Structure 1
């Protein structure tokens, strides 16, 4: 053990002792308590030993694949693809990536990301949310998704569990784990269908109808539309799955709970026909 590592371990001994399963990655990062888990990954509170040594707060989380995903071929390429997508994006409303690595001992690939103080949108009581906060989230998420698409990235899994509302009530989009390149020229990724883990309430119906279809900017727009609808209506648009849209299109649904100025926006964003979906800005709102 190096002197730096020894000193750092002593400085964080209390945290280290509380978690016997602490992982030490590449003699640089400690994985401490688990702070999140999804179908594809586990997120831990992290410590950068160099930051700790120089008495600077790490403010990081470390994301590793689940045990199931680690069994797949090219898992390192899959994790690295998310790193590359996030490196391409630079906006305050998108989680920032700090580092990518493959642990020399365990061969586990990992991402180091900024730690965001806040709550998942899925865990927030929308009924108690102020109208001005809803308007701010609405405008911010539209701007963010437009930016993501302008960088030739399809998020592919926009849902309330992948949006954090920080302490300033700003929405931050996270988890680009199954993102795709619009131009389809990225070769450092797993096939989308191998790792798909989508929420049927927020996933575009055409993707649920045909599992061989790849996500598009239009499926992203649809997913965002369902979230923004839920924020204003205080209830999900669909009871179980977005395929309910086939039998009852958005134009025939009761939109009385939606502000009048936004109704056309929702009719466009939530169209059954993907090519008709638009992510237009709302003025005078």
Structure 2
């Protein structure tokens, strides 16, 4: 390809190349510059890159000078950065955790700026990160970048090893693909290797490992592991954005790991709160139904859990027998119907079961609380293992002759 440049632009040797371009060292206005040269067939891509370079102004990017279109070539003139790529740093420099954190913070700061301008880089990798001789991080190569404008993108582009799963499998994606790349880079800096790729394995094996998502965390502490999982989460919705990542306890030194950061964290916390509220509503409804229709219920719900895993004959709780307003079967049917509708409408398993016309009420399958003839409790308290027998209930033929109906009884704790 024959290349023609302006007279005020001096061009020296070639210093690099990419899939669509060549990079030369040059001089412009008495400054060292990097000249990126592209073939005219990539005119559309060239215009997109120039548009992005003209719109960004941040210390984390090489300064843009100008660009030009000629008959034979397209070229972009930018500040020349003296230093090493992050790939070279990973291979040759033994970095302390403090240094690794500083690199990730500067990288996320640059990504945060891009995303605030609705720009997705789409090719963040160690080869596109320069650590200058002054120790400053610079993110380069916007050849695959695009304006997202908060809309879904579908193009598959970038470097496979740093490509988010949704991009690999040609699914729609947003800015979170850049956060995935940052998470992979953080893992590499800490462990000196890729979380999913082994050089001896094939590309298809790498893709399977990404799907299985089973990285090795043996050399990472809990804070590092949490940061990686929230950056490189398989689900895009579970990933932090750049600003949230900067506030993660591993980088900021503030907060706790259990505190919600991402939208997925907040949704999970909200769902747990809603489940708790639904459980409280269920217990209150049970209490109301039992008081209205004469069912034995726990006096203190906090001392008793309605599930099989906590079923224990040594459970210590109080019971009370409340007055039944009627023994009419229609009332019992109403209780059964109301309870069923309540739990079904709230998508909750019903902890109360009616059988044999209210002769027995079971709270969890292994707990029988009310019998038609008698109630027995074993080991009511740790200090007392005596078995207590209650008198026959009011529907017993013996008591029907001895007392009037609808009396109140209460079993008091010893």
TM-score range, shorter chain: 0.7 to 0.9
What secondary structure does 1:42 align onto?
A: strand
Matches for 1:154-169 after TM superposition, within 5 Å? 154-169=120-135
Shift of 1:127: 5.3
Structure of larger gyration radius? 2
- Separation in 1, partners of 2:96, 2:185: 16
The equivalent of 1:206 in structure 2 is 166
The equivalent of 2:96 in structure 1 is 130
The correspondence for 2:34, drawn from 48, 51, 61, is: 61
Shift of 1:205: 1.9
The equivalent of 2:329 in structure 1 is none
Cα deviations by residue, 1:239-280 (Å, 9 ceiling, x for unpaired) = 15355121134xxx4323224323222111111111211132
Worse overlay, 152-161 or 31-40: 31-40
Worse overlay, 219-228 or 257-266: 257-266
- Separation in 2, partners of 1:126, 1:277: 30
Distance change in 2, residues 1:237/1:254 (3 Å): closer
- Separation in 2, partners of 1:165, 1:109: 27
**Coordinate RMSD, CA, aligned:** 2.4
Contact kept, 8 Å, 1:156 with 1:216, in 2: the verdict is no
Cα deviations by residue, 1:107-131 (Å, 9 ceiling, x for unpaired) = 3111101000111111222652233
Shift of 1:218: 1.1
- Separation in 2, partners of 1:224, 1:44: 28
The correspondence for 2:24, drawn from 44, 47, 50, is: 44
- Separation in 2, partners of 1:243, 1:218: 21
The equivalent of 1:110 in structure 2 is 75
The equivalent of 1:174 in structure 2 is 140
Contact kept, 8 Å, 2:37 with 2:76, in 1: the verdict is yes
- Separation in 2, partners of 1:256, 1:96: 41
Shift of 1:169: 2.2
- Separation in 2, partners of 1:159, 1:102: 28
- Separation in 2, partners of 1:108, 1:76: 9
Give the TM-score normalised by the residue count of structure 1.
Answer: 0.75
What secondary structure does 1:224 align onto?
A: helix
- Separation in 2, partners of 1:171, 1:202: 19
Shift of 1:152: 0.5
Where in structure 2 are there 5+ consecutive unaligned residues?
199-205, 255-414
- Separation in 2, partners of 1:242, 1:232: 22
The equivalent of 2:368 in structure 1 is none
> Is the aligned partner of 1:284 residue 2:264?
no
The correspondence for 2:44, drawn from 54, 67, 77, is: 77
Matches for 1:213-224 after TM superposition, within 5 Å? 213=171, 216-224=174-182
- Separation in 1, partners of 2:208, 2:131: 28
Contact kept, 8 Å, 2:3 with 2:72, in 1: the verdict is no
Shift of 1:204: 0.9
- Separation in 2, partners of 1:87, 1:126: 34
Shift of 1:30: 3.1
Shift of 1:89: 1.4
What secondary structure does 2:162 align onto?
A: coil
Shift of 1:232: 0.9
Give the TM-score normalised by the residue count of structure 2.
Answer: 0.53
- Separation in 2, partners of 1:204, 1:161: 17
Distance change in 2, residues 1:80/1:238 (3 Å): same
- Separation in 2, partners of 1:181, 1:143: 18
The equivalent of 2:13 in structure 1 is 33
